[in-house]
Amino acid sequence: MVADRRDWTTVSFEEGREALKEWREEHARRSEEVVELWEHVLSRSPSSLADELCTVYEQVCIAALDCSRTDLAHECINALHKRFPGSSRVLRLQAMFYEARGQWKTAAGIYEKLIAADETNPGFRKRRVAMLLGQGKRLEAIKALNEHLESFITDSEAWLQLSELYLTESDYARAAHAMEEVLLTAPTNSIYLRRLADIRYSQGGQENVEVARAYYDQALKFSPADLRALYGVVLSCNCLVATARLTADKKKEYTTAAAAALQRIVERYESVESDAANPEEHSNIVEAVRGMEIH
């Protein structure tokens, strides 16, 4: 959903308060608007926020860092530090503040202390990974993620990040393994199924392409209108027919599956023809899809 483009400087205090609360509950990262609301509305009477004040300080601090407003972030951290000296949440914000200023060594030192003090908290380890990525240290980030997953093996977000990092290193086998771990926590997620299919297709070889085709089929069971999965079926079936040693029955199976997927793609394009912004271009796309060769 596209965020509302409104002038938050003119809303009432209660409207601003409710907006921040709603965004927190929805985990919406509307950083510029959060900063705008704080500076023009809520900061005029922070004491009126009562029990919400510290939560709002934290929300505004993170938003300020997103917007490169380290001055505002520093104000929020100081206010929180006065209330909760030595708090791990405040220390985490301080580390993020140093990250934003490029003071990586100082930030790393804080994260190491936080991890040593609470080894059961995955958030500190993941912030350390984010810091390494911010410095472009992909190999170190991969190592840190693997260490994190030794303790938090069901962290699907970490497995997903690890898969993406392995892809940047063209390590398709490890990227596929990481995506398989993600699927264990979300076996019906069509996007994850298709992503794993893409990785296995990219690995190449008959076995991997056959597995890719199976994952594309599975993705379509949960999301029948997924065009990328349909194209994946066409490409994987064509690849197998063209390069693999197949029995006549298997070749017919793949050819039929590719043709069926291609027909569904054409139908999808034709169904939106009347809404096309450029009818001529749309017509050319449909003709190009129709002309795709089925081996």
Which tens digits make up the pLDDT trace of 86-139?
Answer: 899 999 999 999 999 999 999 999 999 999 998 888 989 999 999 999 899 999
Among 26-30, 70-74, 166-170, 277-281, where is mean pLDDT lowest? 277-281
Report whether pLDDT(4) > 80.
no
Statement: residue 289 has pLDDT above 90: no
Q: In the prediction, which pLDDT does 29 show?
A: 87
How would residue 7 be classed by pLDDT, with cut points 50, 70 and 90? confident
27: helix, strand or coil: coil
The percentage of residues in the chain with a pLDDT greater than 90, rounded to a whole number, is 74
The pTM assigned to this predicted structure is 0.80
Of 193, 184, 128, 132, the residue nearest 159 (C-alpha): 184
Per-residue confidence (pLDDT) for residue 150, from 0 to 100: 93
Lowest mean pLDDT among 12-16, 119-123, 213-217: 119-123
Residue pair 200/211 in contact by the 8 Å Cβ criterion: yes
Cα distance between residue 185 and residue 209, in whole Å: 24
Write out the E strands in 194-245: none
Whole-angstrom Cα distance, residue 119 to residue 234? 47
Candidate from 45-59, 141-155, 228-242, 267-281 with smallest mean pLDDT: 267-281
> Using the 8-state DSSP alphabet, how is residue 217 labeled?
H
